[in-house]
Homo-oligomer: A and B are copies of this chain.
Amino acid sequence: MELDLQLYSVRTDLALEAKEMAQGPQKTPIPGVNEEVEEADGIKVTRLAVANDAGSQAIGRAIGNYVTLEVPALRGGDTGLQQKVSVVFAREFEHFMDRIGIDRNSSVLIVGLGNWNVTPDSLGPLVVENSLITRQFYELVPDQVSPGYRNVSAIAPGVLGLTGIESSEVVQGIIDRTKPDVIIAIDALASRSLERINTTIQIADIGIHPGSGIGNKRRGLTKEILGIPCIAIGVPTVCYASTIVNNVLEMMSRHFGQAGAGATQTKEIMGMLDDISEHERLSLVKEVLEPLGHDLIVTPKEIDEFIEEIANIVASGLNAALHEAVDPGNVGAYTH
């Protein structure tokens, strides 16, 4: 028998995961990728800057800024923690906009990508529903808008299968008409590991690239295409069955190692599955699953509740970050 080990790319929409995979278990620093980590109250914030082409190629991500919030306990349903994450997200998002030079008075179009009929893909539309929209006042009664607010509009453009129109076409049409200064695009993502689902939020200034997110966008939302900056906010809500298996095999390998089993013993237990690289292992798993049509995309059973909680966190955080008059401690009042 000969193993046909095609090199599947390990699918992830998270720069942090891409970086970790590039680093390998030794966590070797990567030239051209700067990293800053801060952790408090169970919330880990990682600020990555992919500074040059070398860094970009090493981790397979565009040059740009990436902020990731990791909150493993977020799936516990603790409303106090949710509130905290929302406040930290607001702060990080505000700093992020400052850092990349978005003016505090710039007008914003929030784009909620995804399919509202598919619960794990409904994050974007849900955030749009809970966002504080003000553009109509700037249009109709511009002299009556209180200070502390910003011009914000929002759209959930739907998905190709529902509308027959690429979401990027809908967004471009609206940009042409309404001339916002910056786009904030919200999208549900696929993760490489089950534990990240609904516990991680990524902010990036590289926009949305084709093929990313759940719905497999065929065209992107980037500064090159749109002509204005596009900040992407993403939360992993699904993963492939194959990546779960691969992920667990990796955990097993690590587990038996830590449990004191020598390399020989771990190999005895797991055979080649312990030895080979992550890419090769995933190839093996996919080789088995795909022909049977069993490489399903899955989501946790509790997705209805998770998606509502995380959408509230993101919308509350955005409302506080975008409008100075909205108090980060009281952001909840503006969402359903």
Residue of B nearest to A276 (CB): B269
A296 within 8 A of B: yes
Q: Chain B nearest CB: distance from A196 CB in Å?
A: 11
Q: Is A298 an interface residue (CB 8 A)?
A: yes
Q: Which A residues fall within an 8 A CB radius of B?
A: 1, 3, 79, 117-121, 128-129, 133-136, 139, 152-156, 158, 160-165, 169-170, 172-178, 194-195, 197, 214, 238, 241-242, 244-245, 248-249, 251-252, 255-256, 259-261, 265, 267-274, 284-285, 287-289, 292, 294, 296-305, 333
Report whether B244 and A292 are in contact in the complex, using a CB–CB cutoff of 8 Å. no
Partner of A133, one of B152, B164, B272, B298: B164
Residues of B with C-beta under 8 A to A152? 164
Would you call A117 and B251 a contact (CB within 8 A)?
no
Are B173 and A256 touching (Cβ within 8 A)?
no
- Determine the chain B residues whose CB is within 8 A of the CB of A165 once the complex forms: 135-136, 153, 155, 174, 177-178
* List of B residues within 8 angstroms of A244 by Cβ: 241, 244-245, 298
Q: Which residues of chain B are near A3, meaning CB under 8 Å?
A: 269
Partner of A245 from B117, B245, B288 at Cβ < 8 Å: B245
Complex interface: chain B residues within 8 A of A272 (CB): 268-271
A270 to B197, CA, bound (A): 28
With contacts A162-B129, A244-B244, A269-B273 taken as known, whether A117 is within 8 angstroms of B305 at the C-beta atoms is yes
Q: Which residues of chain B are within 8 angstroms of A249 by Cβ–Cβ distance?
A: 245
Query: Which 8 pairs, one residue from A and one from B, show the smallest C-beta to C-beta distance?
Result: A173-B173, A271-B271, A135-B164, A153-B164, A1-B261, A298-B298, A133-B164, A297-B301
Shortest A289–chain B CB gap in Å is: 6
Pairwise interchain contact B296-A300, C-beta atoms closer than 8 A? yes
* Cα(A297)–Cα(B274), bound, Å: 25
Instruction: Check B248–A288 contact: CB distance below 8 A.
Output: yes
Contact A119 B117 (CB under 8 A): no
Min distance, Cβ A269 to any Cβ of chain B, angstroms:
5
Distance in Å: Cβ of A193 to nearest Cβ of chain B? 9
User: Looking at A3, A135, A249, A288, which has the most chain B CB atoms within 10 Å of its CB?
Assistant: A288
Contact between A288 and B164, CB atoms less than 8 A apart = no
By a CB distance below 8 angstroms, the chain B residues around A259 are 1
Query: Contact at A248–B285, with CB atoms within 8 Å?
Result: yes
Whether A174 pairs with B164 at a CB distance below 8 angstroms is no
B residues near A128, Cβ cutoff 8 Å = 162-163
Q: What is the minimal beta-carbon distance from A243 to any residue of chain B, in angstroms?
A: 11
- A161 partner residues in chain B, CB cutoff 8 A: 133, 136
Q: How far is the CB of A138 from chain B (nearest CB, A)?
A: 8
Other than the known A173-B173, A245-B245, A296-B300, what 20 A-B pairs have Cβ atoms closer than 8 Å? A119-B119, A121-B301, A128-B162, A133-B162, A136-B160, A136-B161, A136-B164, A156-B158, A165-B178, A169-B177, A170-B170, A172-B177, A176-B177, A194-B241, A252-B288, A268-B271, A269-B273, A297-B300, A298-B300, A299-B303
| Bound: A292/B258 CA distance, A | 14
Say which residue of B170, B245, B302, B305 sits within 8 Å of A248 (CB atoms).
Answer: B245
* Chain B residues closer than 8 Å to A155, beta-carbon distance: 158, 163, 165, 170
